[in-house]
Amino acid sequence: ETGVTQTPRHLVMGMTNKKSLKCEQHLGHNAMYWYKQSAKKPLELMFVYSLEERVENNSVPSRFSPECPNSSHLFLHLHTLQPEDSALYLCASSQDRDFTDTQYFGPGTRLTVL
C-alpha cells in the first residue's frame, strides 16, 4: 500500500542535529496530521493541517516545526531534540478535517535521539 509514504523509516540523531521527516500522500486528501507514538502510550496528535493551513497545534515544543508546502506533502523539522523525543512519528491524512473522515496512516519514522 502506498497511499501515505514516509521517509526516512528510521532515523538516529544527536541532540544538536537538525533533521526533517517527510510525508507524502497520494490519496487526494485535504487534511494531514503528525502523531507521536511512544512506547506503551496512546498516539498523541501533534499537528493538523487542513488545505495547507495549520489548524491545530497541541502544545508541542518549538523544537518540532511542521511545514505543509502543498496538500500532498507534510514535513516535520527537528532541531535540538531530547532523548525523550525518541518515538515513532506517524503521518496520516484524511479527505477533510471532518468528524466522520477516516485517517490513513503512513508506516512511520522510528526516531532515536542520542
Assess contact for 93 and 31: CB atoms under 8 A: yes
Q: In the stretch 11-50, what mask flags binding to other proteins with x, by CB under 8 A?
A: ----------------------x------xxxx-x--x--
- Please state the closest distance from residue 16 (CB atom) to other proteins, in A: 28
As given in the structure block, the three cell numbers for residue 48 are: 493538523
SS3 content of the chain, % helix, strand, coil (to 5): 5, 55, 40
Query: Cα separation of 97 and 82, whole Å?
Result: 31
- Please state the closest distance from residue 101 (CB atom) to other proteins, in A: 9
Residue 97 binds other proteins, judged by CB under 8 A: yes
Query: Cα separation of 20 and 9, whole Å?
Result: 12
Query: Cα separation of 24 and 38, whole Å?
Result: 22
- Please state the closest distance from residue 107 (CB atom) to other proteins, in A: 5
Residue 102 binds other proteins, judged by CB under 8 A: yes
**Looking at beta carbons only, is 1 or 84 nearer to other proteins?**
1
**Looking at beta carbons only, is 33 or 64 nearer to other proteins?**
33
The candidate with the shortest Cα–Cα distance to 63, out of 90, 41, 38, 36, is: 36
Residues at the site binding other proteins, with contacts judged by CB under 8 A: 33, 40-43, 45, 48, 55-56, 90, 97, 99-100, 102-108
